A and B are shown apart, each in its own frame.
Chain A
Amino acid sequence: MGLAITVGVFGVLVLFHAAYSTIQYKGLLKITEDEFSGPPFNVVIELFVGLLLCFWAALTVPGKFQSIHPHSEENRIVSLPANLDFMIFNHRGKVSPVELDVKLR
């Protein structure tokens, strides 16, 4: 968890650095009066690295993926809820009531 967050923060920092470098590069181009056709190659690489790190962190930090299969453990329905709205009280348990010595105080 901690690792993933650190990686995510690092990724964001890398992205910011890429943005900063691009701005710098643009400033440089302004001085040399060149046309801006795209960021330099190493910045592009940096962008991709940052993107991958952020991706990884974003997929890891929030938690595990849940299954969508109906027969997976999370989704497989094993029993229906007791139909409590139609609960009746004179069942066989009435014959042998629970021996409980505690009372509501």
Chain B
Amino acid sequence: MVTKTEETQLNRLENQVDNGGGGAWDYLCLVRKLKVRRSEKVLKHGLSILNDHKQRSSLGADEWTLYEQVAVAAMDCHCLDVAKDCTKVLRKRFPDSKRVGRLEAMLFEAKGSWELAEKAYASLLEDNPLDQAIHKRRVAMAKAQGNISVAIDWLNKYLETFMADHDAWRELAEIYVSLQMYKQAAFCYEELILSQPTVPLYHLAYADVLYTLGGLENLQTAKKYYASTIDLTGGKNTRALFGICLCTSAITQITKGKSKEEKEGLQLQSLAAKVLEKDYKQRAPDKLPQLTTALKSLTLSS
């Protein structure tokens, strides 16, 4: 989870490193800790550390972690030579490590030689059939090849055993959303909310899915989840504010403002609209007219 403070810290460090201000190692550590995907920068700065003998030896045992990080980043950037060299260095240091074996298989993946990669993963799984990372790689490989249904199958099979792995649930949810299978996606997001009830982004995604599903009940539920997102973020999530507006107008369209409850809902909508306007005034004044017309159309339609 990346919090606001961490995000600002990351951006600051990135700026500093890009402008040659040093602190590359700290930056790489932060990237690793936050699990963000900055492959290009990791590759550039990681390589500069690895090529500098003095800097590299000052890392101690972390040197090998850096090699791994750079190797993955290089695969992501398709600098296969660098990835290969890094893997070789690691293989030389750890001759029978499974982790390096995984890295080599990933290299096959990056090259696009799927059969070889599959074979490598299969042999790794034979040694340890409960290796979560390798199961996940197989899912990713199916996805990369475009066999989404196969990926879903693998993922479901994986989740049957490792059902507390929320990363996998998240991946499954995203795949389902990409296939427009919203009911299934909603289930996955419920699972995510259960495992981490205080993460507003899961509430938000769940609300999005419910809103897309439509129907009065789903819309009302979606509105509640947008509201909880607002509560958890202190009203700083623009998407949730828009969601409130959209949900309310959709609900009033269905019920035609019959029940008393909807009146209260309208109040929340107007508040959200006000906050949106304030936000836009502060951060993007030139987009304000567009916002007002959009909001007006929402309230007019009700």
Residues of A within 8 A of B (CB): 69-90, 93-94, 97-98, 100, 102-105
- Contact code string B132-153 (vs A, CB < 8 Å = 1, else 0): 0100110111011000000000
Size of interface on B: residues with Cβ below 8 Å to A: 56
Q: Which residues of A contact B161 (CB under 8 A)?
A: none
Q: Are A90 and B144 in contact (CB under 8 A)?
A: yes
Contact A77 B51 (CB under 8 A): no
A104→B40 contact, CB < 8 A: no
B232 touches A71 (CB 8 A): yes
24 examples of A-B residue contacts, CB within 8 angstroms: A70-B198, A70-B200, A70-B232, A77-B1, A77-B3, A77-B200, A78-B3, A81-B1, A82-B37, A83-B170, A83-B174, A84-B72, A85-B171, A86-B136, A90-B112, A90-B144, A97-B77, A98-B40, A98-B77, A98-B78, A98-B79, A100-B43, A104-B82, A105-B51
Interface of A is mostly: loop
Residue B181 CB within 8 A of the other chain: no
Q: Which residue of B lies closest to A98 (CB)?
A: B77
Across the two chains, which residue of chain A brings its CB closest to B79? A100
Q: Which of chain B's residues have a CB closer than 8 A to the CB of A85?
A: 133, 136-137, 140, 167-168, 171
**Any chain A CB within 8 A of the CB of B35?**
yes
Complexed CA–CA distance, A84 and B33 (Å): 12
Chain B residue contacts of A103, Cβ below 8 A: 81-82, 85
A91 CB to nearest B CB, Å: 8
